[in-house]
Amino acid sequence: MTVTAERLRQIGNRFAELEARMASGQLEGDAFVAASRDYAELEPVAKAAIEVAAMREEIAGLTDMLADPEMKAMAEEELAQLKARLPEAERALALSMLPRDSADLRPAMLEIRAGTGGDEAALFAGDLYRMYERYAAEQGWRVEPVSMAAADVGGFKEIVANVAGTGVFAKLKFESGVHRVQRVPVTESGGRIHTSAATVAVLPEPTEVDVSIDEGDLRIDIYRSSGAGGQHVNTTDSAVRITHVPTGIVVAMQDERSQHKNRDKAMKVLRARLYEKRREEAHGAEADLRKAMVGSGDRSERIRTYNFPQGRVTDHRIGLTLHKLDEVLAGPGLGEVVDALIAEDEAKRLAAMDG
């Protein structure tokens, strides 16, 4: 995607206008907030545009110097260096101009559920949760479990957690889908390799302003908690099940002893699921663009295999195979997979815009 000189000037002028408005001291309240948001979004684009414009101008000047016999040798050397650097600068500018997902900077709700494979699937769900915990710690994010259903053998039948930090959704959104594991279960005496699976869903976390929920659309059931959770868990009606009648979305929460805390957590999860549903409906109008992306984010799509006997991780969407399974599950290696997914998505979106 080549950006014209006229477009570069427009970006520069727009950024200069915003800088002047911000420095004027005349903006207050909502106007200042809106201008600050626009400034933050445009700043990386403007810096990339300024760099490209300067490089193109320098190339033009050096090209003129080639006519001077005394300056030709020096001009040729500098010209070759600039021409080699310019494509990368232009690519960085094009990437900064791509339409951004409005949810990219948001925290996220991470949902992991054991799939096919019985006890082994639950153990694998636990492995995935710890992988994301370690990766989040490296990013400086905070992970807080919202609800969990532990399995008797270890791991989880289901766990939902809030991942708080800047840019969480941008990095984790391609993790949604079916994760498959191939290994010898600890319960297998014959040493046979089994295949199990767990599903992962990553939902951007909305604010109450983003998703307004009419109380009249909710059916709330209160019941007695069951399962592990201490001496009080089975003696009070503290568990909460909330059904959003218009969509049929159901969220149940029983981890807290307090009915009010369970209700608050359930509403938080419900709000995230409603927000994602609306995003999916909006994306329906952009089907062609989404086909160019790495994945749809559909949790039914098989995306990755973790093969223990071979020590490898394969992401099927981009054909990436890493023979560093331990590093991926430990957290640091996951960053390599995440970065590759983001780079592939950016490349395909650039190609789609060029087309």
Q: What are the structural domain ranges in the chain? A: 5-97, 108-208+294-354, 215-285
The candidate with the shortest Cα–Cα distance to 329, out of 179, 211, 218, 204, is 179
How far is it, in rounded angstroms, from Cα 78 to Cα 300?
53
Considering the chain, what percentage of its residues have pLDDT values greater than 90? 49
User: Which residues of the chain are under the pLDDT cut of 50?
Assistant: 228-233, 285-298
pLDDT given for residue 288 in this prediction? 43
pLDDT given for residue 106 in this prediction? 87
Q: At how many degrees (to 10) do helices 29-65 and 5-24 cross?
A: 140
Instruction: Kindly write down the DSSP assignment for every residue of 67-114, as one continuous string.
Output: TSTTTHHHHHHHHHHHHHHHHHHHHHHHHHHSPPPTTTTS-EEEEEEE
pLDDT given for residue 210 in this prediction? 73
Q: Angle at the Cα of 293 (from 290 to 295), degrees rounded to 5?
A: 95
How far is it, in rounded angstroms, from Cα 235 to Cα 273?
30
pLDDT given for residue 156 in this prediction? 94
Class of residue 57 by CB neighbours under 10 A (exposed 0-12, middle 13-18, buried 19+): exposed
pLDDT given for residue 229 in this prediction? 45
How far is it, in rounded angstroms, from Cα 264 to Cα 146?
10
For 30-73, how does the pLDDT look when each residue is reduced to its tens digit (9 = 90+)?
A: 888 888 878 887 888 899 999 999 999 999 999 999 999 989 99
Helix (H) or strand (E) holding 170: helix 168-172
pLDDT given for residue 333 in this prediction? 94
Tell me yes or no: is domain 108-208+294-354 CATH 3.30.70.1660: yes
pLDDT given for residue 294 in this prediction? 47
For 113-146, how does the pLDDT look when each residue is reduced to its tens digit (9 = 90+)?
A: 999 888 999 999 999 999 999 999 999 999 999 9
pLDDT given for residue 348 in this prediction? 85
Residue 262: CB atoms within 10 A of its CB come to: 23
DSSP 8: H
pLDDT given for residue 260 in this prediction? 87
pLDDT given for residue 232 in this prediction? 44
Check: CB of residue 11 under 8 Å from CB of residue 38.
no
pLDDT given for residue 112 in this prediction? 95
CATH of domain 215-285: 3.30.160.20
